[in-house]
Amino acid sequence: MDLRDAISEHVRDGMTVSLEGFTHLIPFAAGHELIRQGRRDLTLVRMTPDLIYDQLIGMGCARKLIFSYGGNPGVGSLHRFRDAVENGWPQPLEIVEHSHAGLANAYAAGAANLPFGVLRGYAGTDLVEHNEQVAFVDCPFTGEQLSAVRAVRPDVTVIHAQQADRHGNVMLWGLAGVQKEAVLAAEVAIATVEEIVDELEARPHSVVLPAWTIAAVCHVPGGAHPSYAAGYSTRDNDFYSAWDEIARDRERFSEWMREHVLSKDEVPA
């Protein structure tokens, strides 16, 4: 399926959308397509907003962000995220802020069709008072108090994977992040893939999402750049570093997006 069609069919303004991938396999091409189609008022969910949500936020696609770590890993700030939170540019951004463990368990609860997940952590931190999706429960056996996170159930989850077969089964391998949970927690899932193969062959650390869990598979080689797909590409660390300068300035950011995203057609940056 064409990525353009998959996005326009499944993602509407105001929806809750998760583009997952923990450093590895981030679905940049799908994020760019959301930008090109001008989606607005999205609630974006991602553990690490990373450059992809920096771009979506800077382009005014997001009303709300549910996240757990908003930095440029190994580089520094996400300037568009910061500008939105600090100065409301290009529009105010409501934030719902978890720890990694909290948001991972919120996805896992969603995938298990449970209304909440239980974990240690949060106690004593200021995260609790600023996030209504965190609460406490008492263990019915020991009385110990634990934290609870409200399940995340995205309307649409998008992932990037290495392969799909002709039946639409999707396989990824390497660092698998929370993609399985994010896909299974969602109403609808879309996968972009590096390659369509006749037959998937299980391999070390491979994760398969059966065709009946994925609404649309789109063939988008390089769709994770500047993130990477193990076996197909390597992380473009230079671009991650360069982004710091690009995103620091509103003008330069907008210009870069015009040149590299808005004027392109399904080609990753």
Partner 1 sequence: MSVGEAVEVTPEELMTINAARELRDGQVCLVGVGPPNAAANLARRLQAPGCVLVYESGAIGAQPVRLPLSIGDDDLAATALELVSVVEMFNLWIGGGRIDVGFLGAAQIDPHANLNTTAIGSYEQPKVRLPGAGGAPEIAACAKSVIVIARQSPRVFVEKLDFVTSLAHREGHTVVITDLGVLRPGSDGELELVALHPGVEVEQAREATGWDLRVADDLERTEPVTQRELDELRELRASARR
Specify the amino acid at residue 268. Answer: P
Q: Report yes or no: 175 and 20 within 8 Å, Cβ to Cβ.
A: no
Taking the least distance from each CB to partner 1, the nearer of 43 and 48 is 48
- Provide the 3-class DSSP secondary structure of residue 143: coil
Q: Could you give the string, one character per residue 18-47, with x where binding to a copy of itself holds by CB under 8 A and - elsewhere?
A: ------------------------------
Contact positions with partner 1 (CB under 8 A) in 76-95:
77-78, 81-82, 85-86
Q: Which residues pair with 13 in a beta bridge?
A: none
Main-chain phi, psi angles of 257, to 5 degrees: -65, -40
In this chain, which stretch among 143-151, 183-191, 232-240, 251-259 interacts with a copy of itself, using CB under 8 A?
143-151
Report which of 110, 103, 269 is spatially closest to residue 189, judged by C-alpha positions. 110
Q: Report yes or no: 68 and 48 within 8 Å, Cβ to Cβ.
A: yes
Report which of 202, 205, 208, 204 is spatially closest to residue 169, judged by C-alpha positions. 208
Tell me whether strands 170-173 and 206-209 are parallel, antiparallel or unpaired. antiparallel
**Is 166 among the residues that bind partner 1 (CB under 8 A)?**
no
Binding partner of 240, given partner 1, a copy of itself, none, CB within 5-8 angstroms per partner class:
partner 1
Q: State the DSSP string of 18-35.
A: EE--SSBS--HHHHHHHH
Contact positions with a copy of itself (CB under 8 A) in 149-188:
150
**Is 123 among the residues that bind a copy of itself (CB under 8 A)?**
no
**Is 142 among the residues that bind partner 1 (CB under 8 A)?**
no
Q: Report yes or no: 28 and 225 within 8 Å, Cβ to Cβ.
A: yes
Written as six digits, the tokens of 120 are 């240690």
Contact positions with partner 1 (CB under 8 A) in 54-73:
67-71, 73
Question: Which residues of this chain interact with a copy of itself, rule CB under 8 A?
Answer: 112-120, 133, 135-142, 144, 146, 148, 150, 202-206
| List of residues contacting partner 1 (CB under 8 A) | 22-24, 47-48, 67-71, 73-74, 77-78, 81-82, 85-86, 97-101, 104-105, 107-108, 111-114, 119-127, 130, 169, 174-178, 180-181, 184, 200, 202, 205, 207-208, 210, 212-213, 228, 230, 234-235, 237, 240
